[in-house]
Amino acid sequence: MMQYSLEDIERYVLRQMGEVEAHDFQVAMDQDDDLKKEVEKMHLLGDAMELEIEDQLRSQLNILREKSARPQRSKQFLLWSIAAVILLMLGLFVWFYSQPNPDLGQFAQSHYLSHQDIDFRSEAGSLEVSEGLVLLRQGQATEAIEWFENYLLSYPDSYESRFILADQLRKSDRNLEARDQFRIIADSPSLLWKEKATWNELLLSAQYDMDFVANQKLRNLLADSNHSYHLLAIQLGEKLDIR
């Protein structure tokens, strides 16, 4: 073989020889089986190393694929976690602010005027409301409420009956309906029931729905030092931060 070295064979295989040199090498190869064999072995070496490079590159690409997938999963997990935390906080916020103020609740409980607490009878005669009262004494609150509602359709100015109705609605946890009934009495000309109804209206509004009307009424009470409930209104105002 050996006019050609390993380096020459490498240059031939890698096509680094000039045209003339390559042609001469080709001629030599055709005449020398040993040289031909060495060239074939060099080609094989190249093919084997090419395979090695491909395998390494394939591994590298698989690692990159794993890395790409991992952050996506972490990122998704992080986004879902953040969303869950935000929802939880929103839920807590809504729950917290929907809870009645315990301090206010206690105040309202102790200063609410139920019909039984009021020791006088109204402008109307007691006989007309006796059937409703009988139902109440029998513990039939729902029937009593229905009775009073019907009664008031015929006798809308029976303020005591309306007070009893409002009181029963409150006891049945129909607080806003109770508030509305007290409001009707508060806005009426009734001398006996107006002030008490106003006070109950304010208490129920403070607990469940401090609307514009209730807000104005409370401010009017605060401004009127002669009103029977002026001092209590100040306490209520402090709890509601209304001065």
Which of 21, 27, 30, 49 is the binder for other proteins (CB under 8 A)? 49
Are the CB atoms for 39 and 13 separated by under 8 Å?
Answer: yes
Interface with other proteins (CB under 8 A), residue from 21, 30, 54, 143: 54
Q: How far is the CB of 46 from other proteins (least distance, A)?
A: 6
User: At closest approach, how far in Å is the CB of 78 from other proteins?
Assistant: 20
Is residue 8 within the footprint of other proteins (CB under 8 A)? no
Please say whether the beta carbons of 219 and 242 come within 8 A.
yes
Structure tokens at 34: 């040993």
Closest CA to 117 of 177, 163, 64, 70: 163
Give the residue with the Cβ less far from other proteins, 64 or 231.
Answer: 64
Among 21, 26, 27, 65, binds other proteins (CB under 8 A): 65
Q: Tell me how far, at minimum, the Cβ of 211 lies from other proteins, in Å.
A: 56
Identity (one letter) of the amino acid at 112?
A: Y
For position 126 contacting other proteins by CB under 8 A, the verdict is: no
Find the binder of other proteins among 21, 30, 33, 50 (CB under 8 A).
50
Extract the tokens encoding 20.
């003339």
Is residue 33 a contact residue for other proteins (CB under 8 A)? no
46 scored as a contact of other proteins (CB under 8 A): yes
Q: What would the two tokens of residue 21 be?
A: 């040199």
Cα–Cα dist 182/195, whole Å: 10
- Select from 19-27, 53-61, 89-97, 206-214 the region that touches other proteins (CB under 8 A): 53-61
**Residue from 21, 26, 64, 89 binding other proteins (CB under 8 A):** 64
Is 44 among the residues that bind other proteins (CB under 8 A)?
yes
Q: Does 156 bind other proteins (CB under 8 A)?
A: no
Q: Does residue 230 belong to the site contacting other proteins (CB under 8 A)?
A: no
Q: For the chain, how are helix, strand and coil distributed in percent, rounded to 5?
A: 75, 0, 25
State the Cα–Cα distance between residues 21 and 8, nearest whole angstrom. Answer: 10
Binding of residue 51 to other proteins (CB under 8 A): yes
- 53 binds other proteins per the rule CB under 8 A: yes
Specify the residue, 6 or 153, whose C-beta has the smaller distance to other proteins. 6
Distance of alpha carbon 232 from alpha carbon 112, whole angstroms? 11
- Token readout for 65 is 């694929």
Please work out, in degrees rounded to the nearest 5, the angle formed at the alpha carbon of residue 176 by the alpha carbons of 105 and 218.
65
Cβ neighbours for 36, distance < 8 A, ≥ 6 positions apart: 29, 30
Query: Would you tell me which residues interact with other proteins (CB under 8 A)?
Result: 6-7, 10, 38, 40-42, 44-54, 56-58, 60-62, 64-65, 68
